Each structure stands twice: as C-alpha cells, then as structure tokens.
Chain A
Amino acid sequence: MNPRTKTVLISATLFVLTLVFAGIVFFPYYWMIVSSLEAASLFEWPPRLVPSSVTMEAYVKIFTERDVFTWFKNTAFVASTTSVFCTLVAINGGYALSRFRTHATTAFSIFILFSQLLPATLIVVPLYVIFRQTGLYNSLIGLAIADAAFVLPLATWLMKGFFDRIPVEVEEQAMVDGCTRVGAFYRIVLPLALPGLVVVVAMSFITGWDEFFLARTLISSQSNWVFSVGLTSFETQYSIAWDEMMAAAVVFALPAVFFFLFVQRYLVSGLTSGAVKG
C-alpha cells in the first residue's frame, strides 16, 4: 500500500469512528424525543429503536392535564429576574476588576476564586433558615436572588474578560473630551461591550432556567413550582408517565439548549479564568 492511500484510509476510519461516537453521544437526546412522540409502543420489550407510529398526544396532554403553563411562567420569571439582576450587578463589578488595581479589587478577585470551592449544600442549609426568617422562603423573587448570587462570581469574571478586550484609550479619550470616569464607562465603554453583555445575560438566564436544587429547597407550594421541580413530579402512585415526562423534558430543555449553544465558547474561557482561550 502506498503512503498516500494509507493516509486516506486512516482519515476515513477516524471520520467513521467520529460519526459513530457522535451517534452514541446523541442517542440520549434521540431517545428523549422518540419517547415523547411514541405513545402506543413505549412499553414494549424489546424497545423499538425507530417508532412505529408518531403522535403528539403526550404534548397535548402535558399542556391540558398538567400545570406546565404555571411551571413555564414561574421559570421564565425566575430566569429573567436572575438574568437582569445578575447582569446589572456583574457589569459594575466586572468593570472595576478590569480597570482598577486597588485592595478592594484584589480582595474581590480572590473571593471569586474562593467561591468556586464553596459547597452548595453548606450554603443552602443556613440559607433555608435565613429565608424562613426573612419571609423570602417560598417566593420566586427570593429564589431568583439566590440563583443570581450563585452565578454572580462567574458572570463578573466573564464581564471583566470582555472589558479587558476594550482598550483603555477609549475612556481616556472620552475623558479628555469632558466625560467623567463613570460617564465614560456607561456611555462609551458599555455599548462597546454589548456582545459580552449579551453573553452574560444569556448565561445567567440559563442558570436560572435550569436550576433545580435551590428551587427544590426554597420553594414549598405547588403553585410556585418551577419547571425543573415540576418535571420530577410525573411519578404517579402506580407508574411513571414516561411519554409525558419526556415531552415535558423536551419543552423545558429547548430554550436552555438554544441559549447554551450560543454561550458555550465564552463559558469555557470564564471557567478556566483565562488559562486557555476558549
């Protein structure tokens, strides 16, 4: 065999291998979608890998017989509140970290690293007590504030990264032209950082959207359930309505997946704190 054919053969084998792995990795997604569309043949052995018939029954059912609308509304509220609140706070903190070297910024940077060590369960136990005492328990606003605090370190760090890419000369010029320091930041720098701002908005939105653990602990009444908590309620006394559960899972996952694919690149550079370029 000549070396050229050998190279082509190796490339082709690796390509096929990649496709096979991609198929395996994608299979759980496929199975979620197929299970949500297949009512009749769901409980069969052996399982049908390709559905015999397709129906939207489960989707109709979850919207008519379950509280999916309430969960959707609550989740959207929590996610947007988390997102707005977290972004507003992160913009200012991120700018300070990017442009100043003082004791305050150093201390804050160290705390951001430290926060990556804090076990969520140790926070949530006293947080539960604090929320009970302050009346934030079982309130969607309270949940959104907690969610925002949990993403804030990462959001601030990401925002700092985006400000770092804007040259300082931009503000200096604006200040020569008569802007104050703060004015230069809000009027000149912030619009330039808009793409980064969008990433932080989307990332904190997803965090609020996906969050389960805090919602499970800090929310008690069923009317305040968010989607992630509602999803786990499909177990009835006798069986689990898997087709409905998978249909609800698709509805819940869709916005999250969409936003996530958009922010994933930036997430990596944020998580590794600039150790690698994402």
Chain B
Amino acid sequence: MKRAFARRFNHPELLPLWLLTPASVVLIVILIWPIAQGILLGFFNTRILNYKAGRFIGLANYDVLLSDPFFWNSLKVTVYYGVASMSCTYLLGLSFALLLNRSLPLRGIIRTIFILPWAVPEVVAVLIFIWMLDAQYGVINYFFVQAGFLDAPVAWLAEADLAMPALVLITSWHQFPLALLILLAGLQTIPREEYEAAMVDGAGALSRFIHVTLPGLRSVNVILILILILNSFRRVTMIYAMTGGGPARATETLSILTYNTAFTYQKIGYAAAIGTVLLLILLAFSLVYFFTIIQTRRGV
C-alpha cells in the first residue's frame, strides 16, 4: 500500500504536478483570483461602503471612462512618465556601464556605490528626495541656485510642470542600477576581438561605439527596455508616496488613478475598469513589442 502510494507520488507525470501545487494555490488565490475578480468588478457599480453588494451595470463603467477627462489625462501622464523615466534610466545605466566596463582602480567599491540607490527601500528613496527637494531648505534648490539654473528656490512637488521631472529624477536615481547591471553583463559578452578589429580598421571611439557596442547590446536592450517600460506603467509605491498623483493630477499615471479611484473616491467598480484597461494596454504593448522585434529580426 505504502509502496504503491510512493510509486504514484514519484511518477514522472504526476510528481511535477505535486511539486507545483503549493505555488499554484498561492498564485491562484492571491494573483489570478483577484485579477479575475478585478475584471469582473469592472462591470459592477461597487463602492467601498457596500463592497459586498455591487449591482451589475454592464459596460457603463467603460462608457463613463471613455468620456472621463481624468482618464485621458492619466493616459497621457502614463506615456510621458514611461518614456521619460525609461530614457533617463537607460541613458544613466548605459553611461555608467561604459565607465565601469574598463580596468579601473577601486572598481569593486565604485561598482557597489553605483548599485546602492537600488538597494534603498522605495519609501526611503522618496523621503530623501522630498527632503532634498524641499521648497525652503532643500539642498537641490541650493545647488541649482548656485549653479545658476534657478533664480530662487522652487516648490518642485507643488508645481504641475515640475512634479513630473522631479518624479523622473527620483525614478532614474533609484532604477538606473538595474539598467547598469544588465548592460554591464551585456557589454562583457561582446568579444574583445571585435573592438581590436575595428581599431585596426582605424575606427575612432564613437565609430566603435556605434558599430560594435550598440549592435552587441541588441538582445540585452530588447529585454531591458521592455522591463523598464512595464515597470514604469505598473509603478505605484514611488509615485503614491511622492505625490499621490498630484499636483492637479500632473503625475497621476493609470496605476495611481486606479488606486485613487478605489481608495480615495471609493469607487471600486470604476477603479477596476480603469485597472483592466491598464492590463489590456500592458498586454497589447508587450505583444506589439515582441511582434515588431521578431519582424525586424527576420528583416535583417
């Protein structure tokens, strides 16, 4: 009996099933079930106070959404934030990766310093920057005034057109180490001979960068840019703790709009509809992204 059980348990078709059961249960209960619920909730008029008893209203939430100026504003903010933070993070990561990808005294220590921003909890990063950006005593204002960029200190997080640059600044400070490490790993896969061959052909530094380094980073870039964009679309903690979406909704990405609609305006059903649209955007973006890349690869 015991042996029969052991044999069945160890069966090569069934064993992976047993092993995956705990993980599947957790993911179904905490991720898949809520996602399904979330998509469903989008068809209900549920509010926080009556969270047990929402009424089915069909596509009414989506109908409201299409004519909701805050939704369209949010969509613009999401794209702005995604493109700006991705570009800044990528450029910082690439510059530092190029600097670190050479024999350097104290390389280990310097590498660690460049990774430190990523190690700090997001909330701490946000608090440090709120303090550094403070309108009265902020050290960033001091530097900018000293350098002549500003005439007088400004309230970064209270001005609609300055809050987003401030948010992009903190995002790229916190996230560039991820880009740095991935690009550094990518740089190290480019064979030294390719650089030497280019030098023999008389290529200068810039030409070597364009003809050897960039093509060598191609496959790494594909995955890195996708990660950076998806992360920026899904990011909550940093934006929520930094601005909460304000001032005047200037930093309210779709993720934050979903959260605020649910927990500030207490419209759970409508929030779920916004979240579902965000999910569809992420899915569509990923599919188009991979499709385009596969197409261009075939073309080459």
* A90 interface hit (Cβ, 8 Å): yes
Q: 0/1 per residue, A208-245, Cβ < 8 Å to B?
A: 01101100110000000000100110000000001001
| Contact residues in B for A245 (Cβ distance below 8 Å) | 127, 131
Most buried by A among B102, B118, B134, B237: B237
CB-nearest residue of chain A relative to B33? A130
- Contacting pair A111 B27 (CB below 8 A): yes
Where chain B touches its partner, the secondary structure class is: helix
A126→B100 CA distance, assembly (Å): 45
**How many B residues are at the interface, by size bracket?**
35 or more
Q: Which of A15, A89, A156 contacts B104 (CB 8 A)?
A: A15
- Contacting pair A29 B120 (CB below 8 A): yes
How many pairs, one residue from A and one from B, have CB atoms within 8 Å of each other in the complex? 285
Known: A92-B23, A121-B259. A182 touches B9 (CB 8 A): yes
| Contact residues in A for B254 (Cβ distance below 8 Å) | 119
CB-nearest residue of chain B relative to A17? B99
User: Distance (Å) between the CB of A32 and the closest chain B CB?
Assistant: 5
Q: Which of B30, B99, B219 contacts A149 (CB 8 A)?
A: B30
| Contact residues in A for B240 (Cβ distance below 8 Å) | 213, 216
| Contact residues in A for B119 (Cβ distance below 8 Å) | 256-257, 260-261, 264
- Contacting pair A256 B120 (CB below 8 A): yes
- Contacting pair B272 A122 (CB below 8 A): yes
Q: What is the interface size of chain A, counting residues whose CB is below 8 A from a CB of the partner?
A: 95
Where chain A touches its partner, the secondary structure class is: helix
Most buried by B among A22, A115, A181, A217: A22
| Contact residues in A for B20 (Cβ distance below 8 Å) | 92-93, 96-97, 104-105, 108
- Contacting pair B263 A217 (CB below 8 A): yes
- Contacting pair A276 B189 (CB below 8 A): yes
A276→B118 CA distance, assembly (Å): 19
- Contacting pair B234 A119 (CB below 8 A): yes
- Contacting pair A31 B22 (CB below 8 A): no
* A152 interface hit (Cβ, 8 Å): yes
A127→B125 CA distance, assembly (Å): 27
What are 29 A-B residue pairs whose CB atoms fall within 8 Å in the complex? A25-B116, A26-B113, A28-B125, A89-B26, A92-B19, A100-B15, A102-B13, A102-B16, A105-B20, A108-B23, A118-B35, A119-B234, A123-B34, A126-B35, A126-B37, A127-B30, A127-B34, A128-B51, A129-B51, A145-B26, A180-B6, A180-B10, A182-B9, A212-B121, A232-B127, A246-B128, A249-B128, A272-B220, A278-B185
**Which A residues are closer than 8 A to B by beta carbons?**
11, 14-15, 17-19, 21-22, 25-26, 28-29, 31-32, 35, 42-47, 49, 88-90, 92-93, 95-97, 99-100, 102, 104-105, 108, 111, 115-130, 132-133, 145-146, 148-150, 152-153, 156, 180-182, 209-210, 212-213, 216-217, 228, 231-232, 242, 245-246, 249, 252-253, 256-257, 260-261, 264-265, 268, 271-273, 275-278
